[in-house]
A and B are shown apart, each in its own frame.
Chain A
């Protein structure tokens, strides 16, 4: 792949700036241009303002402070010629054809021929955008439609025209895939492409049907949420997030572009309530609020929702909907229910899923493109055709007919079949031609999901499984709830280490859950504590220490590949691995202090050895323990893999994979590289400050306590942490071994486990999911 060395983004709005940030996150220097505001003293004010704003935005568009420095601000009048250095120019200016076309003409005169130019338009067809442009421009032009926020949304819709140079488009797609981490869905040049075409229709139907049925917004969002695999924002919450004011624009442009026969027109009703809300500034979360708002009048913060009939706000209600119990497992029952809620769920999904079935081949070549677009563009757990399969295509088609709704041809053809099936060990989809076709992954992608479909685990127990991923590499998968760690995982990991040693070359620790691991199973710990089974707890800690240590010093390489959260014990696995191949969106931290504990599976030991050997700190016994104390006592979690490197949860040499789909393949390749002439690491010997350091940490903690930053129990916890990190009874002339630190960790962990403050923290976390500040 010929990488993109430099990029330009024109248009410093939320999307343009966010796309520029993602280039920077990928390590690509990027020029961000916008117009010169009239009468502005600073001609780069818009782009500079956008960068400054992004530095304050949460969730952050930038993965690291270093990335932010890769974005250079400029303006179209003075800096357009600089695009000649760029390999890819992304246009993300206002959705006006005349403005875009005029910009393209200017760009065409300054860009290097063969440079890709792509538009982030969400509504204007490619044919119109390139109309009247030079042949060379048409050859180099395509649409790359990012989703908001560009760092976090994995979908990229790509539209090419008949004249687009295929190798150039392939290069853009590849760079978007490998460097920007996007999953590419190829779309036809049709209005709204795929995700928004279906998504906007779904939202519109969701609103109209709720109003017609007299539902509250809370009821609507509860049912069009978790039960159907949609994020909990549902319909109204999502519109609040996107911005109510965008709805009329997008709806208007879709209405203008779609033929009169399109079902969208039936749903696209004028909604006086939304008009009124926008006029009054209720544009959603970015404005005063939307369908939901926080009422701060009267000094407090009251969550309110709008009454769809009267347009008045009232306190939010938690709907009690018996229909939803078990609905996710039995969607047919939900959709067959004659209750108001059941009818609403059915009406919204019936129309949305049938609309999806009309989009092949008009908007997409196949159903998988539509499912992928909705999974990654709208975070649906299941794409529309996967949902139909859950219901049964025949059942769904019959029920549509029963209700007098049209049954699309594609659905008719699927009767008696499923949209997806497993055959010959491959997942196949039903094509528009009525035949099944194998689903292919992009080149080089390896998914555990695919391995699992065709194979049997090499080892397995209640909390984990081990898979052969080829070339002598085993993959250890957590299968417990939230991938939490327990004695079963430790036992299986121990067995796996023995097995790899006998028959394999390397081990990869990886899974395809939402999070790599949220840490130890606290429920088990509290259960054991409640029956005073202290020796059991200590056994679990000691067992984990031994297994992690065995993993570190095993005669084969271990590569961990986290994505999402890797917390507590999950982080400690990474710390004991020979290498980590992390997804860029990895949130890593030792958070034990938050629940009144401290890292007991070697986390203190590994962090001490990392900072001591880092060469980043002044000499002497204190700087390394101080750094670890600061990070661990505050339960700091990195907000990206890049930031995890700054915190030394990852080593500088650890790899970062931008595309989630490529993580396992990259981790496996890394493991195989390390397997050549592999030698296990040498044990580290530490020099620690002893009691003098402990006192220094305690004095610092007491200062935080006086300032109201540290709580009473924080002092207890940080006191124990200080004892471990300073080396316990060690004198600063002593050499402290890894095992000695492990012993200190275990003893301190057990003392904390027996304190009421810690037990209260754990219980609170288990019940509320939030830390207790006692």
Chain B
């Protein structure tokens, strides 16, 4: 079978929904600029691209109408490049990577762009018309459970205290702040041109966050709960994209790949504890790669919430030194559909930067799922 590699990664700045610098920018416009920048930076011939696969958790409104195809047009890709939109909620753009990889191994193309987009300012969570199935709601109320409630459930079941959650949030903020200060995020960022100027920097991080400050916050989802806005990822606007191609294509065209995809997996779990989804998915992926967690040198575990991140890290035995080296979604933000491509691209770049052999990118998914990707440095 053909080897599949990650050969490039970029993203837009991530900014807070509603009040951030991208709140007034259409999501398709954000994604098109990200995709165009990836093509330009990687130097590939756009005519070689088979498909633009765009992950989006709420593909409606300005990110509806098969936005994948529309982003290809906006980005100025040749009309011969196809476009699709894929939805696995928060796992959408990691799924886009998996689809590209599967296609390459099937011989259905050599070069793909897997991207993700979400404007949580412009398309609300649950979308504009949440029409729940009353029969399913009666049978399994957790099918529609709110994400914050699942974070509380995980905190309770895994006995993750509020203090631990807050310490983890501070860690994320500090790591992100250090990375930004040292300019370590500059290479992945694409400046987004908007009507009111260009947006160059992430807007979500709060480098001044302290444990004492977090301790003052009210619980965000349950009166008696432990999860607060400070220990949750913020609602975010942003887009991301990775270049996925066969290893052969890369070497033939003089492209320096970042990492090889070793294995992937998805797995379901109980929806009321969806935050634990990465555990099952990661175990499957590790098994498929014939690896132990100890072999993983770089982990990008999406920080939907502190509680689920800690529970997953604990269950999987992830070493702290390997985890979210440049901070995670609690600091950087979590534009649902865009996060998967970000953490795959990030894990691949970190392998290059930090050394080590294997990397893991994994995330939890609303409805009770996990998704995981294992990479190997080239």
Contact = CB atoms under 8 A, between A and B. Distances in A.
Interface stretch (B130-138, B192-200, B205-213, B239-247): B130-138
B129 interface: yes
B149 A703 contact: yes
B134 A618 contact: no
A623 B128 contact: yes
A707 B222 contact: yes
B220 A707 contact: yes
Contacts of A695: 132-134, 137, 144
Contacts of A620: 128-129
Interface string B118-160: 0000000010111111100100000010101100000000000
Nearest to A692: B131
Interface in A690-744: 691-696, 699, 703, 706-708, 732
A623 B60 CA distance: 14
Contact of B132 (A696, A703, A706): A696
A432 B222 CA distance: 70
Contacts of B222: 706-708
Given A691-B134, A695-B137, A703 B146 contact: yes
A707 B144 CA distance: 17
Contacts, number: 55
A457 B235 CA distance: 60
Contacts of B126: 696
Contact of B134 (A694, A707, A708): A694
Which of B128, B131, B133, B221 is the most central at the interface, judged by chain A CB atoms within 10 Å of its CB? Answer: B131
Which among A689, A695, A708 has the highest number of chain B CB atoms within 10 Å?
A: A695
B219 interface: yes
B132 A692 contact: yes
B132 A618 contact: no
A174 to B, nearest CB: 40
A706 B137 CA distance: 18
B223 A622 contact: no
Contacts of A696: 126, 130-132, 144
Nearest to A726: B131
A704 to B, nearest CB: 10
Given A707-B219, A707-B221, A707-B222, A621 B131 contact: yes
B137 to A, nearest CB: 5
A160 B146 CA distance: 65
Most interface-central of B126, B134, B148 (chain A CB within 10 A): B134
Contact of A706 (B61, B144, B221): B221
The number of chain A residues touching the other chain, given as a range, is: 20 to 34
A617 B127 CA distance: 12
B144 A699 contact: yes
Contacts of A617: 128
A699 B220 contact: no
Contact of A622 (B128, B144, B148, B225): B128
A622 B148 CA distance: 23
Contact of B128 (A618, A692, A693, A706): A618
Contact of B137 (A623, A699, A708): A699
A699 B138 CA distance: 11
A693 B144 CA distance: 13
Nearest to A693: B131
Contacts of B61: 618
A748 to B, nearest CB: 18
Interface string A598-626: 00000000000000000001111111000
A692 B149 contact: no
Contacts of B128: 617-620, 622-623
Contacts of B220: 707
A694 B132 CA distance: 8
B26 to A, nearest CB: 14
A689 B223 contact: no
Contacts of A693: 131
A517 B220 CA distance: 37
Contacts of B149: 703, 706
A619 B221 CA distance: 29
A672 B133 CA distance: 50
Nearest to A623: B128
B83 to A, nearest CB: 23
A694 B129 CA distance: 12
Nearest to B61: A618
Interface in B251-297: none
Interface string B44-70: 000000000000000001000000000
A622 B131 contact: yes
* Max count, chain B CB within 10 A of own CB: residue among A621, A622, A706: A706
Nearest to A699: B144
Given A699-B144, A703-B146, A703-B149, A622 B221 contact: no
Contacts of B219: 707
A707 B224 CA distance: 8
A732 B133 CA distance: 13
Nearest to B224: A708
A715 to B, nearest CB: 14
A691 B37 CA distance: 46
A619 B219 CA distance: 34
A392 B122 CA distance: 68
B189 to A, nearest CB: 31
Contacts of A691: 134
Interface string A621-643: 11100000000000000000000
Contact of A692 (B133, B148, B221): B133
A694 B148 CA distance: 21
A667 to B, nearest CB: 37
B350 to A, nearest CB: 36
Contacts of A732: 131
Contacts of A689: 129, 131
Q: B137, B148, B149 — which one has the most chain A CB atoms within 10 A of its CB? A: B137
25 contacts: A618-B128, A621-B131, A622-B129, A623-B128, A623-B129, A692-B131, A692-B132, A692-B134, A693-B131, A695-B133, A696-B131, A696-B132, A699-B144, A699-B146, A703-B149, A706-B149, A706-B221, A706-B222, A706-B223, A707-B219, A707-B220, A707-B222, A707-B223, A708-B223, A732-B131
Given A706-B223, A706-B225, 11 more contacts: A618-B61, A618-B129, A620-B129, A622-B128, A622-B131, A623-B128, A693-B131, A696-B144, A699-B144, A707-B221, A708-B223
